[in-house]
Amino acid sequence: MNKYITTPIYYVNGEAHIGHAYTTFIADTVARYEKLKGNKTYFLTGTDEHGQKIEESAQKSGKPTQEFADEISATFKNLWDEFEIDYDKFIRTTDADHMKGVQKAFEVMHAKGDIYKDFYEGHYCVSCETFFPETQLVDGEFCPDCGKPTNVVKEESYFFRLSKYENALLEYYEQNPDFILPRSRANEVKNFVKGGLRDLSVTRTSFTWGVPLPESMNDKEHVMYVWLDALMNYVTALGYGKDDANMEFWPASMQLVGKDILRFHAIYWPAFLMSLDLPLPKHIGAHGWWTRDGEKMSKSKGNVVSPREVSNAYGVENLRYFMLREVPFGQDGDFSQRALIDRINSELSNDLGNLLNRIIGMSGKYSDFEIDSKDVQKYHTKELDAMNGALANLDEFMQNMQTHRYLEELWKLFAIGNKAIEEHAPWTKMKEDKRDEALATVALVANILAKASIMLSPVMPKTTETIADALNFTIDNSSYNEFVIDKKLLKLFNIKQVPPLFPRVEEPLMAEAPEAQPNKPEEESKEEVERDNLIEIGQFFETSLKVGHIIEAEEVPKSKKLLKLQVDLGDSDIRQVVAGIKEFYSAEDLVGTEVCVVANLKPAKLMGMISEGMLLAAKDEDGLCLVRPEKPKKAGTPIG
């Protein structure tokens, strides 16, 4: 069967971060899994290079736009190559073939009567490259998706008749309940469509960095809207508009996207395809967002996780394993070195790595590294049944994109192996002169490792290659059929010694992210800014300030700055406050003292701990001091 897997194409206005790496890792894993199963697979990734956002970024960098796009696009491609991402094509929306394909699509839609010219007047968010009607704006001005100010745009535009496809889309969602994965995300899409679709402005005249309209339109004023251009990449990559060379792979089996761009892929994209009379993708898989140490990543905070940095420190395959195991697909995930190290040490090193080392050690000692499966059936039917049961569950998890369940299930195999060794204690059997039994247990575990490696190979291709090499076989579709589908056991062979695959990690190998400092006044609090930002008294009273009594205080391990406090705000309201004051106060001295607390802040997470308030403090070059009531006041006394 043909399988076509795609990632979104990444904007070239900045280098890749772990969010991008995550999508690419999942897609690479799915593609490798399909290949392993013997499916004919095509895996596409690439870069999205047109639009106002890229044009503006290039201008800021002082480089010609194409040169700027070339450079950033190359950083993505190089990173994926370094990570051995096994893509079949890396598409760029500035490729001539792609641009021709988009023009062809425009002509087809136009000929069908789905594109017409009119005037557009509305609000445009450059950052999201999206138009919004006034009713959707926050405070009449700001983008509902990213919060940035929008621009009022009034220009002539070609429109795509999106409204025409409203019913067809709703019908498709109904008939294909697995079109959007996880299913829990489908409702937001359906509701959006049910709320009514407006025709979509698909050209722009206010800038030029985009695909020109086809010559047949005879209109040089317009360039294509970046999302029409970008979405078409999924078919132009297969030769749409040129030679259809690989169109046999369409419709895509799995299109991976982040939750923020689901709407484009689950509404606009299928509508464009219907207009082009092309079949719709089988699945759109929408994953969640990654944070770092509980905080949103942003360039200004300096806490963006660089995938290369993590890979250099911990190894790219350990990162792949971590990301796919840590987060249920569709949910948001948090990257922290602690969580990564825990998984490396307990799951990779202890469960998997040790099992391999034990088998190499025992086979060396008892049988001169020879593994023979001849007696495995005789002594280990229980374990073989349990192993085959877990192996049989894996496919469904992968088909539903539940990578964490897939890996969890796979790890049951190592538990079966480790338990068999404890229960059957081959070293005792050897002493009791039950050599066949002892060697059967060693062979059982070698078989478990072999089968598990095959199924782990889409996630950790290199590591499992080393395991397979030690076990004298090659991971490919034929070994998958032999050992997983037909449940055969390894033939007689000599095991090879390999160095430990997952050395334990004792302490973080990368610099920590800059710590969040809840009590630090914002950098901009300079006099000019203050003058420009005068507020009404009512705005001040929106902040609830109260006297708090500190009843407990302790240091946060591994943090230079943070103390964890329990603060009494009266009326049994005890709050946990994590404050960056450790350099100035000892935990002991704080207990029993009074402080001023901002009591109506949204809770925030700091180093994994919830903080439910903020202490008022004054800070200058001499240090920081807490602001306290001049005379003792009851806990909860309002300030203001």
- The residues that touch ligand MSP, with contacts defined as CB under 6 A, are 8-11, 19-20, 22-23, 48, 230-231, 233, 257-258, 260-261, 289-290, 297
Intra-chain end-to-end CA distance of the chain, in Å = 70
Residue nearest to ligand MSP (CB): 258
Q: By three-state DSSP, how is residue 529 classified?
A: helix
Alpha-carbon span 600 to 376, nearest angstrom: 64
Alpha-carbon span 314 to 301, nearest angstrom: 23
User: Which of 321, 294, 290 is CA-nearest to residue 306?
Assistant: 290
Alpha-carbon span 107 to 586, nearest angstrom: 71
Nearer to ligand MSP, 220 or 296 (CB): 296
Nearer to ligand MSP, 20 or 424 (CB): 20
CB of 132 to ligand MSP, least distance (A): 17
Nearer to ligand MSP, 22 or 366 (CB): 22
Phi, psi of 2 (to 5 degrees): -85, 140
Nearer to ligand MSP, 402 or 457 (CB): 402
Alpha-carbon span 4 to 122, nearest angstrom: 37
Beta-bridge partners for 11: 48
What's the half-sphere exposure (Cβ side, CA atoms, 13 Å) at 395?
A: 9
Q: By three-state DSSP, how is residue 427 classified?
A: helix
CB of 259 to ligand MSP, least distance (A): 7
- Cα distances (angstroms) measured from residue 12 to each of 20, 47, 58, 599, 637: 12, 7, 10, 42, 53
CB of 109 to ligand MSP, least distance (A): 17
Stated as kind and residue range, the H or E segment containing 271 is: helix 269-275
What's the half-sphere exposure (Cβ side, CA atoms, 13 Å) at 594?
A: 14
- The DSSP output letter for 94 is T
Alpha-carbon span 24 to 8, nearest angstrom: 9
Nearer to ligand MSP, 289 or 369 (CB): 289
CB of 232 to ligand MSP, least distance (A): 8
- Cα distances (angstroms) measured from residue 610 to each of 260, 578, 591: 26, 7, 20
CB of 514 to ligand MSP, least distance (A): 17
Kindly report the length of the chain.
640
Alpha-carbon span 407 to 448, nearest angstrom: 15
CB of 334 to ligand MSP, least distance (A): 10
DSSP string, 546-581: EEEEEEEEEEPTT-SS-EEEEEE-STT-EEEEEES-
Q: Give the pair of three-digit tokens for residue 158.
A: 């070609």
Q: Give the pair of three-digit tokens for residue 386.
A: 């349990």
Strands (E), 328-429: 333-335, 370-371
Q: By three-state DSSP, how is residue 153 classified?
A: strand
CB of 25 to ligand MSP, least distance (A): 11
Nearer to ligand MSP, 24 or 519 (CB): 24
Paired sense of beta strands 563-568 and 574-579, if any: antiparallel
Nearer to ligand MSP, 232 or 614 (CB): 232
CB of 635 to ligand MSP, least distance (A): 40
Q: In Å, how far from its chain's centre is CA 275?
A: 31
